[in-house]
Structure 1
Amino acid sequence: MSFRNYKDKIEEGDTVILYLSNNLYALDVQREIKNKKGEMIENVYQTPFGALKVKTLIGADYGTKIELTKGWGHVLQPTPELWSLTLPHRTQIIYTPDISMILLQLDLVPGCVVVEAGTGSGSLTHALIRRVRPHGHVYTFDFHEHRAKIAQEEFKDHGLADFVTAKHRDVLAEGFDKDLNGKADAVFLDLPSPWLGVPHALAAIKEEGGRFCSFSPCIEQVQRTCLALQEHGFQEITTMEVLQSEIKVSRRTVPVRDLSFLKQKSSISPVEEKPSSETSYVVGALPQSNPGHTGYLTVATLPPVYVRGKSKKDDDNISSENGEKMVVDENV
C-alpha cells in the first residue's frame, strides 16, 4: 500500500525501492515466500552486495540505510518515477521526460477523469493516478488480455484500485465503454493506429470540451492522426518531441599570460614563453551526444459542443475560398 500515501514507516505488504550504488530494485516486503516446491520459506533477497532478510525492513523508516552481507544500501518510498525505472518491461516504457509533458499538455488537476488506451506496463498510468487523486479516476484499456490482468493486480497490490479501472478491450475495434461517453476531461492514446481512435476519443470527451494526446514513434502515424483530429473538429493541434539534455558543470583552470609589457613603446626584456598566472572558471558544457528519439507527442483541444459545428463550418468555408483540400495518401 506504499503507493497510496506517503508514510514514515515500512509495513508488511509494502512495495519499496532498494537503492544500491546507482541501481534500483523494486521489492515486495513479505516475511515469507513460496519456493519452487510450493513451500513457505523465509524471504531473503539476493543483491550484488549480499543477501537481505526482508523481514528486517518491517518497521524501519523510509530512507534508512540498511546493512547487507557485503555492503549497504538505502530503502526508498516508491513513486511513479522510481517505479518506471524498476517495473517489469511488458511493453515499451514511457519515461519521466515524456510523462511530465503529457500531464502538462492534458491540463490534468485533481478530480479529472482520464481515459487511456494502451496500458502496457502501467508506467504512465501510475503518474495519471497521482495527478487526478483523490476524487478523479483513470480508465485504462489494453487489447492484450494477459497484460491487462497483470496491470489490474499491480494496481490492487499498490493500493490504487479505488482510483483506476483497468480492462481488457480492443479500443480501435470496439471503442471505449458506452458508459464513458461524454465523461472524460482528457484522452491519451498509445496505439499503433491512433488516428482510428480519434472518433472514440471524440465520443468520450465531455460536452464542455477537453484535451487529447497521442504517443507515436513514427512521423507517418503523426500525419494521419493530425488529419483525423482536424476532420473531427479538434483545434490547436501540435506535435512535439521531448529530448532531455543535461549541461555538465565543472571548474577549469586557464593559463593567463602577463601582457603588461605591451603598454610600453619598447621592451628590452623578451616575452616570457610560460604563462605568468592561472585563473579558475566555472563553466557549463553541453553533452557531446543527445538521447535518442523516443516518440512524438501530438496534442489537441476539443472545444465545447456549441462551438464545434461553427468551427467546422468556418474551416469548410476557408477551404472553399482557397480551392484547396488536405488529403492523405492511404499507402503511407
Structure 2
Amino acid sequence: MFPTDSTNKLSFNRKISDGDLVIVYEKHDNMKAVKVCEKSILENRFGVFKHSDWIGKPYGCKVTSHKGGFVYLLAPTPELWTLVLSHRTQILYIADISFVIMYLELVPGCVVLESGTGSGSLTTSLARAVAPTGHVYTFDFHEPRAVAAREDFEKTGVCSLVTVGVRDIQGEGFPKDLIGVADAVFLDLPQPWLAIPSAGEMLKPDGVLCSFSPCIEQVQRSSETLASKFTDIRTFEVLLRTYEVREVKMDQCQTEEATPGSHRSCKRKLRASEASLWQQDNSGSPIVMARPISEAKGHTGYLTFARLKCVE
C-alpha cells in the first residue's frame, strides 16, 4: 500500500524495488500479489516474467514476457489489496469500506479502534485514511489470525500505522490504556452490544462508533444498547450495482444473436427489454453502450452508526 524505505518509514518513491509487494494485473478479474525478488520469476499463461526486469520500473507500468504476453505491475492500494488478500474470514468490500470511512469522519491524525481484525481488509483502508500521523489499534481474539494479519500489514507497508492485539473484546472490552483516545471505533462482532459500553469509554467526546452486522436482529439489539449513551443512531445497507460499458455495432450484435453457437465479441444476447434501452445506429457504426451487469452483489451487512453523547 505504502512503499517503505530501509528504516520502515513511509516513502513515496514510486519505483519498484527488490522486496516490494506488487499487484500483478492480468485482467480485471485476475490479479495476484507478488513479492519482488531479484532472482525469482513469475510464470503464467502470458509467459515467463523475470522479477529482475521489474526493479527500477514505476508502478503502473506494462511489462512483457519473452513470448510477447504482458501484465501490469500495480501498487498495492487498499482497494486492490481487498481483491487479492487471503480470506481468513469474510471481508468487507469497497462499497462498505468507503461508506465506513466517510461516516466515521476519518482524516489524517485520527485514532481508530477496530474489533475484529479478520483478514485485515478494512484495517488497511483505515490506516491509509489516518496516515501519516494517525494510528489504528485492531484486535482479534484468534491469535493465529492476528499473527497472519500482522504479517500482511508488514507486506503492505502499514505496520507503522497499525498495532495488532490479541484480545476478546466482547468478553474483556478494550484495553484501559486506550480510554478516551479514540476518534472512532469499528465493531465487527457476533454480539456487538457486549462491546458497546467499553467502546463508549474509549471514544473522545463526540466520537463516532460503527457496528457491522449481517442480521437485522443484531442491529436491533445493538441499537437498544446504544440508546443510553449515544445519539444520532442510524443504520444503512449499501447495495452496489455495476454497469458494463463497451463499444458494439448494434446490427452486428442482433445478427449474431440469430446465429446458434456464435462466440464473437457480441456473444452475450441482448434481451428485448435491454435492447430498448439503447438508441440504434442504423448505419451499423460502433456505438458505446452501458447496461447493468446481472450478477450484482446483494446484501453484505448492515452498518449502524452512532455518536457519543457529550456530557455537560
- Alignment TM class, shorter chain as reference: 0.7 to 0.9
Paired residue secondary structure (1:200): helix
Deviates more, 1:209-218 or 1:278-287: 278-287
Q: CA deviation at 1:213?
A: 0.3
Residue type matched to 1:2 in 2?
P
Paired residues of 1:209 and 1:302 also in contact (CA < 8 A): yes
Greater Rg over alpha carbons, structure: 1
Residue type matched to 1:112 in 2?
C
Residues 149 and 304 of structure 1: CA distance in aligned 2, closer, same or farther (over 3 Å): same
Q: Deviations over 1:236-258 (max 9, x none)?
A: 1111111111345578879xxxx
Residue type matched to 2:164 in 1?
A
The partner residue of 2:164 within 157, 163, 166 is 166
Q: Which runs of 5+ in 1 are unaligned?
A: 32-41, 255-276, 307-332
* 1:8 pairs with 2:14: yes
Q: Give the equivalent residue in structure 1 for 2:23.
A: 17
Residues 305 and 62 of structure 1: CA distance in aligned 2, closer, same or farther (over 3 Å): same
Q: Give the equivalent residue in structure 1 for 2:192.
A: 194
Matches within 5 A, 1:1-332: 2=3, 4-22=10-28, 23-31=30-38, 42-70=39-67, 71-206=69-204, 208-231=205-228, 233-248=229-244, 278=282, 285-288=291-294, 290-306=296-312
Paired residues of 1:90 and 1:120 also in contact (CA < 8 A): yes
Aligned residues: 272
CA distance in 1, matches of 2:288, 2:63: 37
Paired residue secondary structure (1:11): coil
TM-score by length of 2: 0.81
CA distance in 2, matches of 1:244, 1:291: 6
Q: CA deviation at 1:294?
A: 0.7
CA distance in 1, matches of 2:32, 2:289: 35
Residue type matched to 1:305 in 2?
V
Residues 80 and 289 of structure 1: CA distance in aligned 2, closer, same or farther (over 3 Å): closer
Q: Deviations over 1:137-169 (max 9, x none)?
A: 100000110011111222233332221111111
CA distance in 1, matches of 2:73, 2:244: 28
Deviates more, 1:120-129 or 1:297-306: 297-306
Paired residues of 1:10 and 1:58 also in contact (CA < 8 A): yes
Q: Which runs of 5+ in 2 are unaligned?
A: 5-9, 252-280
CA distance in 1, matches of 2:190, 2:243: 34
Paired residues of 2:240 and 2:298 also in contact (CA < 8 A): no
Paired residues of 2:76 and 2:156 also in contact (CA < 8 A): no
Residue type matched to 2:230 in 1?
F
Q: CA deviation at 1:6?
A: 3.7
Paired residues of 1:119 and 1:141 also in contact (CA < 8 A): yes
CA distance in 2, matches of 1:290, 1:85: 16
Q: Give the equivalent residue in structure 1 for 2:267.
A: none
Q: Deviations over 1:169-226 (max 9, x none)?
A: 11111111111011101000011111111011111101x2200101111111111111
Paired residues of 1:235 and 1:302 also in contact (CA < 8 A): yes
Residues 62 and 183 of structure 1: CA distance in aligned 2, closer, same or farther (over 3 Å): same
Paired residue secondary structure (2:160): helix
Query: Percent identical across equivalent pairs?
Result: 49
Paired residue secondary structure (1:202): helix
CA distance in 2, matches of 1:148, 1:8: 29
CA distance in 1, matches of 2:14, 2:130: 23
Q: CA deviation at 1:61?
A: 1.8
